[in-house]
Structure 1
Amino acid sequence: MADQTYRPQRTAAERASRVRFRRAMALLLITLLLPGSAQLVAGNRRVGRIAIWTVIGLAVTGGLVFGISLLWHGLIFRLGTTPWLLGLFRIGLIAGAIAWAALFVDAWRLGRPLELELKQRRVVVAINGALAFSVAATLLFGAHLVGVHKGMVEAIFAGAEAAEAHNGRFNVLLAGADSDGGKTRWGLRPDSLTVASIDAVTGRTVLIGLPRNMQKFTFADGSPMDKKFPRGFDCDGCYLNGVSTWAEDHKELYKGEDHPGMAATVDAVEGITDLQISYYAIVDLNGFQEIVDAIGGVTLNVRQPIPVGLPSDKFYTHIQPGVKKLDGWETLWYARARHDSDDYSRMARQKCVLNAILQQTSPADVVRHYQDVAKATGSTITTTIPPGEIERFSALALKAKSQKISTLSLVPPLVDTADPNMSDIHAEVRKAVKKATPKKEEVFASPSTGDDGETKAPAAGNKPKASGDSDKSGPVTGGSLGSRNKGYQANATDDLASAC
């Protein structure tokens, strides 16, 4: 007779124990998959129904928002930039974390842990604790991210009212300023001033650079500074980057203004360009490197060594030539270095940095590093653009990525910065803006066609150039093509990418 392995029969008590264990585990599992279902089948059905209908309602709402956003892309921007909605969503996530964890605890109770064997009880307790902690921690972390985002929106977008497009364009003043050791949030002497003139339909953008050393310019007609300086800003040592300081020292001219320095600077820029400024945005240049680090750096074409610091600095070094991915510290010096260079080459490099950030930063990059991005931007950027306009400008930014960016810099030899001819400057600005404003029939043209309607190959400038292809007839920018003698192409071009 063949040997038969002896298998003892389980007693009724053991079978009952296994059933109770499987039941306890099932209650935990269905609570994970559908909160409230354990209560519906084995506990307080009223609680179960409330939980299930809440989950179903949230799922339906989320599905509707997703479906509508496929047709109306601005919905996500609208929902994501309304502070009170973000606050409500954050509270909802916190409440959801507490409620879901409580349902797990109740599901554990419904599993009658005291009737389980000691080993089974320990397993159920461990799994229940792990599941409750996991779902609660996930929702609480989501609430934290929403809180970070809400704080960023409130910190950056402080504008009260939306502005209308002027002659079909939004003109946004981008100001880079040094912080002053914490005495105020922003430095009082803007180190960089650029007007981004954006077509309100196509997003086609012109960057108009203003030199910080411009003198004797006039202000916007009728402005407080125009009444004070009717013949132009001609006081001793008065330059464009000193307007803010001057106005802060004479706040009586701008009664009721929270930031008289920026109000005066806007009046100056409007007087110089003859453009109506819709909004302004200020970037703390000392915190700019945090933003670049947060998005993972930017790739730039360094044509000649760029000094980092001054020879007297202990950290003095150079960014060597080549197509390189620079971190925040290097990018800041790439944009700001003036040693062995000049203000106008620096203006060209700054435009190359703006172009690189626009072209290389994708929504995926922002999402992947969101917490760092939000923290950096919330502490280094402020703007008068109201939250309700983020939807519009986000859509325009996406359109701008696929188009050429034009530039005009009001620098020599085009402009005598010591004694500028304002009529000539206004004419140059009008010409640059008009050139970048598409005709109605061109709005619907294929992106692959040029201004003349002919199909064109991608600009050669989109491909990295060798480090030795710079104009050698004078000191070079290290970034843009050109030289001090012949001018830097990034300062005046119909295609910024090709000049960088």
Structure 2
Amino acid sequence: MSFPPTTRSPGFTTLDRAQRVRFRRAVTLIVMTLLLPGSAQLVQGNRRVGRIALRTWLALVVLGVAAAASSYLWNGVAFWAGTNTALLLALRLALMALAVGWAYLFIDAWRLGQPLTLQRQQRLAVVGVNGFLCFSVAGALLFSAHVVGVQRDFMISMFGNGDAVGAHAGRYNILLMGGDSGAGRWGLRPDSMTVASVDAETGKTLLISLPRNMQNFPFAEGSVLDEKFPNGFDVEGQYLNSLSTWALDHAELFKGSKSPGVDATVMGIEGITGLEINYWAMVNLEGFKDLVDAVGGVTLNVRQPIPVGLPHEEHFHYIKAGKRKLGGHDTLWFARAREGSDDYSRMARQKCVMNAMLQQVSPQTALSNFEAIAKASSQMVSTSVPRSEVGKFVDLAMKAKSQKVATLSLVPPMINTADPDIPLVHAKVAEAIARAEGEKPAPVEEVAAAPATEEAAGTVVAEPKKATPPAAPPAVTGGSVGSLSQGYAANQAEDLGAAC
């Protein structure tokens, strides 16, 4: 008498069940390697390798959780880690080693699963799953190592190893200069100059803008240019924005200086504002458009059509009025267009672009577009800020996002740029800083400054002050709220966002 083979269903043999068990075991070993690297070797394989891998993985998990918690509680930890080039190099090498080690564990787990004992379809499935996970994990780690390398290269190329400078009277004063790109003259003649005065504790920011056509201004007391021009910079036909190129023609006055043009401009800005400048940054305005594109564009309130390009150019067009999300090219033209504008309405629009960038670029946007931002920034900015201070200023920028940005512009009708009243300028700067810090500023007794005419907006010529009629509804000139004679809202504002 014979008995049929033990089966669960017709044609399903003990051999089939054994192959299924081997297939499940092979898949399990691969999944274990994904979740707990080294666990597959501990269960079935070289236990020494498994222990090393598992302990390494657990140590990395603990370190990662501690780093995340520290960064969440103290933002300075993350900023320090992201700006420390030695740490970034170590992290990059660690990620590369981790990618190679994890890939080895996947390959070894596939070997431990004895793929040659499986049926052809099962073997192909194991190879596919293992290969996908192996390349995915290793690829993600290698890409992370690449991003860390980009950040390290960015820090090295943009920031130096200079000495950190402490805050002055509780504030950091950073001179921001915008210059045209071009062979041999990148940034040599600043087109715009703004001092960002930042509270060292709260990040509350005041933007102090200076007109490029200011004349007859003093220099920082005791500086080399103060000795040469004791009565102020009265060189005929020279303005604040041409001081940089003038200094390059007289480089012998700045012995040992790597950037005499910038040094001269800083001396002039300090003399005009009465502030000590901690650091400076020179922005290539042509490269600025790449940064805007890298963050996905910026939304601006276009109050009247703004021309893009020149009428004879093939791609000439107007940015239509309304809330518009603009790419880098149009954003640059929004900030710099001259048609129907004067220097001071352009300064107002430029402040609106600064404010929009500060408010709209979130940490998530920065992380998701990190490589493009780093590439654009390294080509766009030259700065004296040392690497050791970058984390501090990123932290202050994050605090500034939640606060109103105030502005002060040293322009007509408040200031006669052809013959500025420097005591009045100093008083206005002190008043604006006090107001930004929430203090009640002392009243400033203004000496009437001559307004500028539209024709003289590029090179200001003073006119006798005339009686002004009753205030009319705010006009829009050159895309900015206000007028040349009455001033522009964005140039003198407690809340720049509202003025834009």
Identify the residue that residue 167 of structure 2 maps to in structure 1: 165
Partner of residue 97 from structure 1, selected from 99, 116, 124: 99
CA offset digits 1:90-112 (Å, max 9, x no partner): 11111111111111111111122
Larger mean CA deviation between 333-342 and 234-243 belongs to 234-243
Q: Could you tell me how far 1:9 is from its partner in structure 2?
A: 4.8
Q: Work out the CA distance in 2 between the residues paired with 1:361 and 1:204.
A: 17
* Count of aligned pairs between the two proteins: 463
Spell out the pairing of 1:19-418 with structure 2 (5 A cutoff): 19-158=21-160, 160-181=162-183, 183=184, 186-418=186-418
What letter corresponds to residue 399 of structure 2 in structure 1?
A: K
Asked if 1 retains the 8 angstrom alpha-carbon contact of 2:79 and 2:395, the reply is no
Q: Work out the CA distance in 2 between the residues paired with 1:117 and 1:156.
A: 58
Asked if 2 retains the 8 angstrom alpha-carbon contact of 1:214 and 1:240, the reply is yes
Q: Work out the CA distance in 2 between the residues paired with 1:119 and 1:354.
A: 60
Larger mean CA deviation between 55-64 and 157-166 belongs to 157-166
224 and 45 in structure 1: CA distance in 2 versus 1, 3 angstrom threshold:
same
Asked if 2 retains the 8 angstrom alpha-carbon contact of 1:159 and 1:384, the reply is no
Q: Work out the CA distance in 1 between the residues paired with 2:419 and 2:71.
A: 52
Asked if 2 retains the 8 angstrom alpha-carbon contact of 1:177 and 1:188, the reply is yes
Larger mean CA deviation between 118-127 and 59-68 belongs to 118-127
CA offset digits 1:119-173 (Å, max 9, x no partner): 3222222222111111111111111111112222222322512111111111111
SS at match of 1:194: strand
Q: Could you tell me how far 1:439 is from its partner in structure 2?
A: 4.6
Q: Could you tell me how far 1:326 is from its partner in structure 2?
A: 1.6
Q: Could you tell me how far 1:384 is from its partner in structure 2?
A: 1.8
Q: Work out the CA distance in 1 between the residues paired with 2:496 and 2:131.
A: 57
Q: Work out the CA distance in 2 between the residues paired with 1:232 and 1:393.
A: 33
Asked if 2 retains the 8 angstrom alpha-carbon contact of 1:155 and 1:382, the reply is no
- TM-score normalised by the chain length of structure 2: 0.88
Identify the residue that residue 459 of structure 1 maps to in structure 2: none
What letter corresponds to residue 474 of structure 2 in structure 1?
A: D
CA offset digits 1:293-327 (Å, max 9, x no partner): 22222221111111212223332221121122222
Asked if 2 retains the 8 angstrom alpha-carbon contact of 1:309 and 1:315, the reply is yes
Q: Work out the CA distance in 1 between the residues paired with 2:35 and 2:492.
A: 60
Larger mean CA deviation between 126-135 and 116-125 belongs to 116-125
Q: Work out the CA distance in 2 between the residues paired with 1:428 and 1:119.
A: 81
Q: Work out the CA distance in 1 between the residues paired with 2:496 and 2:396.
A: 18
Identify the residue that residue 479 of structure 2 maps to in structure 1: 478
SS at match of 1:193: strand
106 and 427 in structure 1: CA distance in 2 versus 1, 3 angstrom threshold:
same
What letter corresponds to residue 239 of structure 2 in structure 1?
A: Y
CA offset digits 1:14-59 (Å, max 9, x no partner): 3333222222222111111111111111111111100000000000
Asked if 2 retains the 8 angstrom alpha-carbon contact of 1:310 and 1:339, the reply is no
What letter corresponds to residue 476 of structure 1 in structure 2?
A: T
Identify the residue that residue 448 of structure 1 maps to in structure 2: none
SS at match of 1:141: helix
Q: Work out the CA distance in 1 between the residues paired with 2:162 and 2:135.
A: 41
Q: Work out the CA distance in 1 between the residues paired with 2:423 and 2:313.
A: 43
What letter corresponds to residue 357 of structure 1 in structure 2?
A: M
CA offset digits 1:408-429 (Å, max 9, x no partner): 1111122221222222222221
Asked if 1 retains the 8 angstrom alpha-carbon contact of 2:340 and 2:478, the reply is no
What letter corresponds to residue 477 of structure 2 in structure 1?
A: V
Q: Work out the CA distance in 2 between the residues paired with 1:299 and 1:79.
A: 31
Q: Could you tell me how far 1:345 is from its partner in structure 2?
A: 0.7
CA-based RMSD of the aligned residues comes to: 2.1
Q: Work out the CA distance in 2 between the residues paired with 1:86 and 1:470.
A: 55
Identify the residue that residue 433 of structure 1 maps to in structure 2: 433
SS at match of 2:283: strand
Stretches of structure 2 that go unaligned for 5 or more consecutive residues are 1-6, 441-471
Stretches of structure 1 that go unaligned for 5 or more consecutive residues are 441-468
Asked if 1 retains the 8 angstrom alpha-carbon contact of 2:96 and 2:142, the reply is yes
Larger mean CA deviation between 59-68 and 391-400 belongs to 391-400
Asked if 2 retains the 8 angstrom alpha-carbon contact of 1:191 and 1:241, the reply is yes
Asked if 2 retains the 8 angstrom alpha-carbon contact of 1:470 and 1:476, the reply is no
Asked if 1 retains the 8 angstrom alpha-carbon contact of 2:176 and 2:194, the reply is yes
What letter corresponds to residue 438 of structure 1 in structure 2?
A: G
Q: Work out the CA distance in 2 between the residues paired with 1:6 and 1:424.
A: 98
Identify the residue that residue 487 of structure 1 maps to in structure 2: 487
What letter corresponds to residue 471 of structure 1 in structure 2?
A: P
Partner of residue 15 from structure 2, selected from 13, 16, 41: 13
Q: Work out the CA distance in 2 between the residues paired with 1:12 and 1:201.
A: 74
What letter corresponds to residue 477 of structure 1 in structure 2?
A: G
